[in-house]
Amino acid sequence: MRITVVGLGYIGLPTACLLATKNNDTVYGYDTNSDLISQLNAQTFVTKEIGLDGIMYEVIKSGKLVVDRKLNKSDVYIIAVPTPFNEDKTCDISYIKMAVSSVASILEKGNLIILESTVSPGVTENVCKRIIEDITGFIVGQDILLAYSAERVIPGRIIEELKNNDRIIGGVNLESAKRAAEVYQIFVEGEIHLTDCTTAEVTKIMENTYRDVNIALANEFAKLAEKLGFNVWEAIRLANKHPRVNIHEPGPGVGGHCIAVDPWFFVGMDHEDAVLINAAREINDYMPFYVFEKIRAMAEKLNIKNIGILGVSYKPDIDDIRNSPSSALIEILKSNGFTVYIHDPIVKKFAYALSTTEDLLCNSELLVLMVAHRYYQSMDFTGLLNKSKVKAVLDTKNKLVNYIKNDRFITDVLGKANYLEEKCAE
Ligand code: SAJ
């Protein structure tokens, strides 16, 4: 089976690599980004994704995976290109249209196209099918097979989850779904479930919406905790002892390219009915502003101007900064006249200069934990802070303050009532 993966991003590249480790024929990886293709071929592309670095150059060196800016004729095309959202919150499918058109121009009877990008319901059946039929003159479902199957993997564990997660595959007809299942069976060890395209598409955005709404609920509880006088972290821990309750974790906001994006597709399609989904998105997007208000309150009390930010990735232990809550917070702090020192143990490229741990501690008066990287949790903060000019610590993930044992610092934790006031009063 000759397979081409179109789009070598966060999902396309690991998918192509895993296919290449097991497929009998060469797998092709196609991307329009010439820098990426050159870096992959020169073996200079660096990834922090566990397990990917190991197999990536093995399959490229052995010729099992050929990456190119030229689209090669294949039996199967897997399309994994980005789908951001438009200003009106609808799903931007321009990359999909381009990719499907390019593939359609070389399609042969009997070929299979699988769309993997996250989309609003109906894109495979209505948009992709029409483009293919218009360009080729073939009939989809008869001459050409077409299926939809979204990835469901979590950045940081992509390789492991690509192999082990269950997979939902929707086909324009049963034959399309079954043929697509044969492709994924090359490397997927999880169960494969067949359905129609629209159900498979909607399942994907429902999963991410479920998580977004639950994080928003946790964030709302955190705000209530501060006003009503309880400790949200302890209350959630205990509430989750109930066999049917799974409250998520509060935090400084929701980042990434999935949970912060996909729920908008529902809102964009039906603003009137997607009331809860819209509210959840707004609650989570507001969290960096909420954290800023806490910083402003502390800064006023303690006469502070220099803020140190711990962590800029969108979540712990990865180098992905897309839509990161820290980026939003840094913009707000800067536009309000604060001087900001930024640190991250993993991220190397960021819009602003990153400080070393020493610079951060020498210059910051208030430290804000935004990302609970393992690095921060294993640092001897108490020792380091003693030698610094830090006066206060704000912990938005309830991970640091508990073990900074020193009365010299004012500490505050998101979701803990009157914590700051108590400490200031002491
Ligand atoms: N977050 C919280 N509280 C939580 C969990 C997460 O504030 O309890 C924050 C994180 O810090 C981060 C954001 O939410 O900023 C998103 O992180 P995440 O780990 O929840 O999810 P992603 O975006 O890395 O990956 C999600 C996953 N979806 C689900 O778990 C339903 C993944 O399985 C999907 O494949 C991925 O989106 C995707 O590609 O759609």
Q: Measured from the CA of 215, which atom of ligand 1 is nearest?
A: 3
What pLDDT does 405 receive?
64
Q: Measured from the CA of 316, which atom of ligand 1 is nearest?
A: 11
What pLDDT does 383 receive?
78
Comparing CA positions, the residue from 333, 332, 343 lying closest to residue 309 is: 343
Question: Ligand 1 centroid to 154 CA: how many Å?
Answer: 7
Mutating to test ligand 1, I would choose from 164, 167, 208 the residue with most ligand atoms within 8 A of its C-beta, which is 208
Tell me the β-bridge partners of 340.
Answer: 307
Q: Measured from the CA of 208, which atom of ligand 1 is nearest?
A: 31
Strand-strand pairing, 167-171 and 145-148: antiparallel
What pLDDT does 406 receive?
65
Q: Is 281 in the pocket of ligand 1 (CB under 6 A)?
A: no
What pLDDT does 418 receive?
64
Rounded CA-CA distance 415/232 in Å is: 5
Q: Is 314 in the pocket of ligand 1 (CB under 6 A)?
A: yes
Question: Ligand 1 centroid to 285 CA: how many Å?
Answer: 14
Comparing CA positions, the residue from 156, 222, 243 lying closest to residue 397 is: 222
Rounded CA-CA distance 260/392 in Å is: 30
What pLDDT does 118 receive?
95
Give me the residue label for tokens 């007809």: 173
- Cα torsion angle, 68, 73, 79, 83, sign: positive
Rounded CA-CA distance 49/91 in Å is: 27
- Cα torsion angle, 251, 252, 257, 259, sign: positive
Spell out the SS3 assignment of 64-94: CEEEECCCCCCCEEEECCCCCECCCCCECCH
Q: How would you write the pLDDT of the chain (426 residues) with one tens digit per residue?
A: 999 999 999 999 999 999 999 999 999 999 999 999 999 999 999 888 888 988 999 999 999 999 999 999 999 999 999 998 898 888 899 999 999 999 999 999 999 999 999 999 999 999 999 999 999 999 999 999 999 999 999 988 999 999 999 999 999 999 999 999 999 999 999 999 999 999 999 999 999 999 999 999 999 999 999 999 999 999 999 999 999 999 999 999 999 999 999 999 999 999 999 999 999 999 999 999 999 999 999 999 999 999 999 999 999 999 999 999 999 999 999 999 999 999 999 999 999 999 999 899 999 999 999 999 999 988 887 777 777 889 999 999 999 877 676 667 788 999 998 655 555 555
Q: Is 64 in the pocket of ligand 1 (CB under 6 A)?
A: no
**306: amino acid identity, one letter:** N
Which residue numbers are catalytic?
A: 204, 258
Q: Is 254 in the pocket of ligand 1 (CB under 6 A)?
A: yes
Q: Is 207 in the pocket of ligand 1 (CB under 6 A)?
A: yes
330 within 8 A of 287, measured Cβ to Cβ: no
Rounded CA-CA distance 179/173 in Å is: 10
What pLDDT does 287 receive?
98
Distance of CA 8 to the CA centre of its chain: 16
Rounded CA-CA distance 85/119 in Å is: 10
Question: Ligand 1 centroid to 104 CA: how many Å?
Answer: 33
Rounded CA-CA distance 107/128 in Å is: 13
Rounded CA-CA distance 397/222 in Å is: 11
**424: amino acid identity, one letter:** C
Question: Ligand 1 centroid to 337 CA: how many Å?
Answer: 32
Structure-block tokens of residue 175 = 């034959």
Confidence (pTM) = 0.93
390: three-class secondary structure by DSSP: coil
